[in-house]
A = this chain, B = another copy of it.
Amino acid sequence: MMRLGIDLGGTNTVAGLCTTTGTLVDKLSAPTPTGDPEGLCRTMRELCCALCDKHNVPYSEIEQIGIGLPGTIVKATCTLTFGTNLGMSNVCFAQAFEPDFHCPVAIDNDANCAALGEFAGGAGKGTRNLLMVTLGTGVGGGIVINGKLFTGREDIAGEIGHMVIVPDGVPCNCGRRGCLETYASATGLIRLALEAMEHDSTTILHQQMRNNNGTLTAKMVCDACDADDALAKRVFSDYCDYLACGLTNLINILQPDAIVIGGGVAGYGEKLFEPLRARVHSQQFKIGAEGTPIVGATLGNDAGILGAALL
């Protein structure tokens, strides 16, 4: 038997053929027909058929198809309740692959699928309880407990970005103020830099930003750190303080076997992880000498495909 996993994004839909033990064999992608539920189901089905045909896998050999998507879901009914970036709501995917595939269909949000993928075949391999943290536009989370995704009441656990760490802090989209997401996302890093730049004309970031049509990116802040820019280094240190505060909170609550970090800012690699470990390990509850392992994700976008396949 084999499995199919689909990473449904706002731009592209990627389907992958996987073994039941967590190896991604091959993948195919197509543009996502946003706002068109029927077109989306057709696209997903065609990708699945093409993958099976290419590898001579009979459709009846597929034991389950999983979909990871950006939005809120009801797992029990296999329904996307609200998906802003997909331009659709209240779409049930239970029959989406008929008449070609008659196997069960499972769905979960993309952050959870990435966590399960890293757990099964990536940086979290060998753990039992894993926390995956994604540092992108927001701060996403996925929790694996006893080898299974933990999604809690209404299937929405793991919203770790919406932990307030600064009372009356920066307003967050969720309605609260001072959420981890507003400080520790890529967006948060950019905001921290822009705030600091208002009072500092020496940083190279002003010039970099002009060269980039007035837009500052998280990577530009990291590059400025590499170029030994004082402001960028100070901002990045503050960023690490906020993120370490959030991760230490999560460790004291959950004590996962490891934390896997993915998303854009994780691309800075050890230059992010090393200062994070130093801060977290000196603050966290622990008994032995070793702090909780904090490592980078290794599967990139494939984590979501693999995790979806293994739902």
Contacts and interface: CB of A to CB of B under 8 A. Distances in A.
How many identical subunits does the complex contain?
2
Of A81, A153, A166, A174, chain B has the most CB atoms within 10 Å of the CB of A153
B249 A163 contact: yes
B152 A255 contact: yes
A96 to B, nearest CB: 22
A263 to B, nearest CB: 18
Contacts of A250: 253
Contacts of A292: 153
A165 to B, nearest CB: 6
Nearest to A161: B252
Interface residues on A, range: 35 or more
A65 to B, nearest CB: 24
A162 B245 contact: no
Interface in A229-274: 245, 248-250, 252-257
B156 A287 contact: yes
Contacts of A109: none
Interface string A265-293: 00000000000000000010111100010
B285 A162 contact: yes
A99 interface: no
A157 interface: yes
B287 A72 contact: yes
A24 to B, nearest CB: 28
B153 A255 contact: yes
A144 to B, nearest CB: 12
A163 B288 CA distance: 20
15 contacts: A146-B146, A152-B255, A152-B257, A153-B255, A156-B286, A157-B253, A159-B252, A160-B252, A162-B249, A162-B285, A163-B163, A163-B252, A164-B165, A174-B285, A175-B283
A170 to B, nearest CB: 13
A285 B159 CA distance: 8
A29 interface: no
Interface of A: 72, 81, 129, 141, 143, 145-146, 150-154, 156-160, 162-167, 174-176, 245, 248-250, 252-257, 283, 285-288, 292
Contacts of A146: 145-146
Given A72-B287, A253-B253, A152 B167 contact: no
Contacts of A164: 165, 245, 248-249
Contact of A167 (B163, B165, B174, B253): B165
